[in-house]
Amino acid sequence: MDYSKRTIIKIFDEKNYLNNVLVPLSLKVDKVTFLYRGIVPEHSEQVISMLLHKNQIMTEFVTIKEDSEAERYVEDPDVIVDLSPRKYLTLYLFEIVLTKNNLIVYYDDEEDAIKDYRRHTVLTKSIYSLSIADLIALSGARIDYNMHDAPDLNDNDYIAKIKRVILKTHDCYPQFTNYISRLIQIIKEGKYEYHLDQPDSDRLRNNGIYPVLAENGIITIHDDNLVIKDKRFVPLLKNAGAWLESYLYIRLMEHNKLDECIMSAVIEFMPSIKRYPITCEIDLLAIKNNRLLLISCKSNKVDAYAVNEICLHNYVFGNDLSKAVIATFEDLNTKNPPIYNKGRELGVAIIDQPRILSDDLDETLVAITNGKYEYERTGK
């Protein structure tokens, strides 16, 4: 059915911002009138209006003092009433239109469909796909820049080398990150060759990690000189944590199971407040069917602080459909199995080394977006 000449009446939802745009964008209506008791935050109004106007949908924001003022907005039987925001004023509006002939709709997140409340039928399963940047903007923030560049997925040789290094070092990953940390103290921007003193040269050359990097043509140590042979790896040789982020990014993108993925996003919250900018970095942001994943990568130790941190980021930047995830290269069955209980308590999915290295990593992330992932302990 064509809804392009129709108006949607809905209650502005200041908490679950996805409710403000998903039904109008999916039904491709002509106009949306938002009702709200109090004041709509200026930034929210701007972002919502820009997103809807970009899709040829007009917007109107109306502040009402009394609930009864909402009645006049549904006098026209052609207006559609969207019940997606779950709050008292929505219920009041629902009571009003029950005695009228207006179409009543809502978004069913379990079936990922927009439904007709009166008929209990699906109006559409063609749900508008928002980008990661759209979702972050709707939360009152923006992606400022990327702290580390994501691997070029078209550079097959570079991708293959990253994967080989990870697969060769996963059983001794703390040793690997320590080795990279030592290189960080030596490597400087713009230089690719360094003279080492004898103790440093011996320690680096005799470390079990060195052959892995040397065999892949990344570095070599000869006559006490450290040479970076593959200049593409300078960013990774200067950041131990970026290896796991890069590997996960590659794995998530290579099967095309997710709609979009952004690595190492620096997010600025409330960018209109210039005097006190608040920023944070989220290692990976991924999205599938408007379900945002906020992923924190931990090379080694996962503690309660890490779980609390990504949970907080999800609370600030996420919505009812988003999920917080921690990915770690520890085998938590043997290192820290109780942390899974902390994750369950706060609604944070935790995937450890065996799951990251498995062939079905992409399916695991999709299951997390659908709320169907359940960690099965295999350790004794």
Share above pLDDT 90 across residues of the chain, in percent, rounded to a whole number: 72
pLDDT given for residue 115 in this prediction: 96
Q: What is the DSSP string of 224-290?
A: TEEEES-GGGHHHHT-TTHHHHHHHHHHHHHTT-SSEEEEEEEEEESTT--SS-EEEEEEEEEEETT
Which is higher by pLDDT, 202 or 336? 202
Pairing of strands 113-116, 121-124: antiparallel
Share above pLDDT 70 across residues of the chain, in percent, rounded to a whole number: 96
- If you average pLDDT over residues 232-246, what whole number do you get? 95
335 pLDDT band, cuts 50/70/90, is: low
Number of neighbours of residue 154 by Cβ within 10 angstroms: 7
| Long-range contacts of 69-77, Cβ-Cβ distance < 8 Å, separation of 24 or more | 70/9, 70/35, 70/96, 71/96, 73/9, 73/33, 73/35, 74/9, 74/100, 74/102, 76/7, 77/101, 77/102
Which stretches does DSSP call E strand in the chain?
Answer: 7-11, 31-36, 58-63, 80-82, 103-108, 113-116, 121-124, 141-146, 193-195, 219-222, 225-228, 260-269, 278-288, 291-298, 323-328, 348-351
61 pLDDT band, cuts 50/70/90, is: very high
List the single range of 13-17, 121-125, 330-334 with lowest mean pLDDT: 330-334
d(CA 253, CA 153) in angstroms, rounded, equals: 8
- If you average pLDDT over residues 129-142, what whole number do you get? 94
pLDDT given for residue 376 in this prediction: 62
Name the residue among 63, 119, 71 with its Cα closest to residue 96: 71
DSSP type of residue 312: H
pLDDT given for residue 337 in this prediction: 76
Q: Do 261 and 286 touch, CB atoms closer than 8 A?
A: yes
d(CA 93, CA 76) in angstroms, rounded, equals: 14
- The distance of Cα 317 from the centroid of its chain, to the nearest Å, equals 9
DSSP type of residue 19: G
Which is higher by pLDDT, 334 or 290? 290
pLDDT digits (tens, 9 = 90+) for 186-238: 998 778 999 999 999 999 999 999 999 999 999 999 999 999 999 999 999 99
d(CA 196, CA 219) in angstroms, rounded, equals: 14
- If you average pLDDT over residues 107-128, what whole number do you get? 95
Based on the number of CB atoms within 10 Å of its own CB, is 334 exposed (0-12), middle (13-18) or buried (19 or more)? exposed
- If you average pLDDT over residues 97-103, what whole number do you get? 93
Residue 161 pLDDT exceeds 60: yes
pLDDT given for residue 378 in this prediction: 42
Residue 58 pLDDT exceeds 50: yes
pLDDT given for residue 379 in this prediction: 40
- If you average pLDDT over residues 268-293, what whole number do you get? 82
The rounded mean pLDDT for the chain is: 91
Number of neighbours of residue 180 by Cβ within 10 angstroms: 21
pLDDT given for residue 371 in this prediction: 85
pLDDT given for residue 230 in this prediction: 97
d(CA 168, CA 259) in angstroms, rounded, equals: 30
Number of neighbours of residue 152 by Cβ within 10 angstroms: 10
Number of neighbours of residue 48 by Cβ within 10 angstroms: 23
Residue 377 pLDDT exceeds 80: no
pLDDT given for residue 257 in this prediction: 85
DSSP type of residue 150: P
Residue 374 pLDDT exceeds 80: no
- If you average pLDDT over residues 93-108, what whole number do you get? 93
pLDDT given for residue 380 in this prediction: 35
- If you average pLDDT over residues 281-300, what whole number do you get? 94
88 pLDDT band, cuts 50/70/90, is: confident
